[in-house]
Amino acid sequence: MTATEGVEAAGEAAVVGTVGDPEPIERGTTARGPWARAWSRFRKHRLAFGSLVFCAFLIVIALAAPLIAPYGYEETDIQHKLAGPGSAGHLLGTDLLGRDILSRLIYGLQTALTVAFGAELTALALALAIGLLAGYLGGRVEQLLMAFTDVMYAFPSYLFAVVMVTVLGRSIFALVVAIGIASWVTQARLVRAQVMTLKEREYVEAARSMGAKGTTIAIRYILPNAIGPILVTTSFAIPAAIAAEAGLALLGLGVQPPTPSWGAMISEGSRYLLAAPHMLVAPAVLFALTLLAFTWIGDGLRDAFDPSGEQR
Amino acid sequence: MSDEALLSVRGLRTTFRRDGAEPLTAVDGVSFDVRRGQALAIVGESGSGKSVTMRSVMGILPRTARITGGQALFGGRDLLAIGDKELRKVRGRDIAMVFQSAMEAMNPTLTLERQLTEHLLWHGLCTKAEARQRAVRALGDVGIPDPEKRIRTYPFQLSGGMRQRAMIAMAMVTEPALLIADEPTTAVDVTVQRQILDLLAELKNRGTGVIMITHDLGVARYFCDDAVVMYAGRVVERAPMGRLLDDPRHPYSVGLLGSGVEVGGRDLPLRPIPGSPPDLSRRPEGCPFHPRCARAELPRCATEQEILTIGPGRDAACWKVAVDA
C-alpha cells in the first residue's frame, strides 16, 4: 500500500459519522440484506440465541436418537422396574415396565418435534396459500376463502383432532393433520392481513408500473416483506403444537403406544407420583424447558423483525 | 423532434365504486397532450384528480376504480382499450413512473441490481448480463458514484438523494419514451430537489416526454413547457407554462398563483384561496370552483361550465375569460 492510499483509507474511515458530507455512505457499503440485519439483531438477544442453541441441540438429539439413547424405547429391564434415577445403569430411572426413561424421553422428543414441525409446516403452507390468494386477489375469491376460514375457526379444534384421530388412527400422520389444520386458521388470517397492508405500499404500485405480473408481485414484492411476522407466529405456534400433542396424549388420543410421547409419559407419571416421582419429574421438566426455549426463540424473532427497530 | 403528440388523452373519466352510494367521479373529462422532448405539468391540489388521471393511463388504478370514458392514444394505440395484458407490456418499457418517495417506492428486500434489472428481463429487452451493465450505466447516468459497487446495496443503505436518483434510474433503465413523475420532489430536501429537477430536465433534452404531477408551481416552472391545471377532477386551464405564470386566466389558476409563496421570482402577496376543495361526493353543479370563486356570477356559474379556447394551446374552463378578452 502506498502512502497516499493509506491516507485515503484513513480519511474514509474518518468520514463515517461526520456531518456535512452531502452524500454520506450511509451504514457502510456492504450489502447487508434485511435477513442479515434481522439475524444480527436476533443474535444480540441472549435468551433467544441461547434458546436457539438449546433447540438445535434437541433437534440433533432427536435426529440421532437411535445412536444416543442408551436403550430402545420398548426395551424392558424386568429386574429393575420403577428404578430410581442413577440406579442399575438407568440415568433417569425406569418406569413401570422397566423401560429406560431417558431413552423414552429421547424418542419422545422425536415424536414431539416431528408432530410439531410437521403440523406447523402444513399450517404454514396452507396459511400462505390461502392468505396470499385471499389478500392479493380480493373480491369474490377473498370472500369465499375467508368464509371457509371463519367456519374452520369456529370449529372446536380439540373436537376436530378427536375426529381426525378416530378417522385416521392413532398415528403421527393423524396428529400432524389434526394439529396442523387446527392452527392454520389464525396464520391464514395473519397472512391475509399482512398482504392487504403490503399491497397498498408504494413499491407494489411501482412494481405494477414497471409491468410486473400479479404472481411476480405476490411472490417477490409482498411475500418477502410479510415473512417476518409470519415467521414469528410460526415460532410461537411450534411450542403450542408440542403442547397440543402432549394434551392429546393425555386424553389418550396421542400416538399408539409403545411409541413414546411426553404427554403420555407425564400422564402415566402423575399416576405414580408418590411411589416414583422421577417418572413425572423428568418428562415434565424437559417438556417445560422445551416449550420455554421455543417461546424465547419466538420472542427473539419478534424483536428481530420489529419494524420499530428497523431504522436503528 | 416531431410535433405529433406522444401521449394524447381525450375526455378521460374515472369513477370509484362506493359501498351503498353513487360512484364517485374522480376524473371528469380530462384532455391533454404530451410531445416528445417536452414536459407537461399537471398542477392541482391534493384530491384534484391529477394522480388518478395518470394511474388511469397506466392502468394501475385500485380495484374499486373504473375508467368510464375517454381515450389515451400512445404510439397509435388507445391504452384504455388494449386490455391489461397488452398494457402491461407498455408499462415500464414505454412509459415509466417515478414516485414521490423512493423509500416507499423501492422494495426493501431487493438489492438495487434486482430492482433495476428485473423489468428489463420481464419485458425481454436483454439478457441478464446486459441488464446488469445497463443498470450500472443507468446508475452512473443519474450521478450515483461508484455504481458497480452501489448496485449491490439495498435501498435503505443509500442516502435520501441517492435513493431518489436510483429510483429515476430504475424508471429510465428501459429507456421509455414517456416518464411520469408523481410529485418527485415533494419528499426530498431542497438541495436534492434541485438535483432531481436537473436530472429530469436532462432526460427531457434527450427526447423523453415528461409528465410531472405536482402541486407546486415553483417546481413546475423550473422545466415544464406546458401546464394543465386541475380542480375537482376537471381541467380548468391549459396553457404554455410561461403564459400561465404571467397571465393566468381561470380564477382558480389566479388563486393558485396568488397562494404560492414565490413564483417566477416575483414576490406576490400571499393570498390563500378562501374555502377548501370540494368533497368529490358533493361536487358543486356547474363550475366546481364557483362556491370559492370571488368572480362567480349566479346562476350561470352554478349551472354550466364551458371550455373556451383563448389562444394557441390555451384554454380555460370559465365563461368569464371571454368577457375579459
Interface confidence (ipTM) of the complex = 0.84
Lowest-pLDDT range, A237-241, B31-35, B216-220, B243-247?
B216-220
Pairing relationship of beta strands B209-214 and B226-231 according to DSSP bridges: unpaired
Say whether pLDDT at B79 is over 60.
Answer: yes
The answer as to whether A11 is a domain residue is no
- Here the CATH number for the domain that contains residue A161 is 1.10.3720.10
Please judge whether A210 and B58 are an interchain contact, meaning their C-beta atoms are less than 8 angstroms apart: no
The answer as to whether A15 is a domain residue is no
User: Nearest Cα to B182, choosing from B64, B264, B60?
Assistant: B60
Nearest-CA distance from B277 to chain A in Å? 25
Say whether pLDDT at B106 is over 50.
Answer: yes
- Across the interface, of A23, A28, A31, the residue whose CB is closest to B159 is A23
Confirm or reject contact between B92 and chain A (CB < 8 A): yes
Nearest-CA distance from B124 to chain A in Å? 11
Say whether pLDDT at B47 is over 50.
Answer: yes
Task: Look at residue B54 and give its three-state secondary structure.
Answer: helix
The answer as to whether A22 is a domain residue is no
Confirm or reject contact between A5 and chain B (CB < 8 A): no
User: Which of residues A44 and A76 earns the better pLDDT score?
Assistant: A44
The answer as to whether A81 is a domain residue is no
Say whether pLDDT at A21 is over 60.
Answer: no
Could you state, in order of their start, the residue ranges of all structural domains in chain B? 34-57+82-94+176-283
Over residues B158-201, the pLDDT tens digits come to 888 889 889 999 999 999 999 999 988 887 788 888 888 888 99
Which residue does chain B place closest to A36, by CA atoms?
Answer: B109
Enter the C-alpha cell of residue B177.
419514451
Confirm or reject contact between B159 and chain A (CB < 8 A): yes
Confirm or reject contact between A2 and chain B (CB < 8 A): no
Confirm or reject contact between B153 and chain A (CB < 8 A): yes
The answer as to whether A30 is a domain residue is no
Which residue does chain B place closest to A223, by CA atoms?
Answer: B109
DSSP for B197-230? HHHHHHHHHTT-EEEEEES-HHHHHHH-SEEEEE
The answer as to whether A99 is a domain residue is yes
Contact B55, B87 (CB under 8 A): no
Pairing relationship of beta strands B234-240 and B314-316 according to DSSP bridges: antiparallel
Please judge whether A206 and B93 are an interchain contact, meaning their C-beta atoms are less than 8 angstroms apart: no
Position B267 confidence tier, pLDDT thresholds 50, 70, 90: low
Superfamily name with CATH number, domain B34-57+82-94+176-283: P-loop containing nucleotide triphosphate hydrolases (3.40.50.300)
| pLDDT at position A78 | 76
Contact residues, chain A, for B122 at CB < 8 Å: 210-213, 216
Please judge whether A138 and B106 are an interchain contact, meaning their C-beta atoms are less than 8 angstroms apart: no
The answer as to whether A250 is a domain residue is yes
- Which residues constitute the domain of residue A126? 54-69+86-309
Position B325 confidence tier, pLDDT thresholds 50, 70, 90: low
B83-96 per-residue burial string, b: 16 or more CB within 10 A, e: under 16: eeeebbebbbbbbb
Nearest-CA distance from A215 to chain B in Å? 12
Say whether pLDDT at A25 is over 60.
Answer: no
Please judge whether A34 and B96 are an interchain contact, meaning their C-beta atoms are less than 8 angstroms apart: no
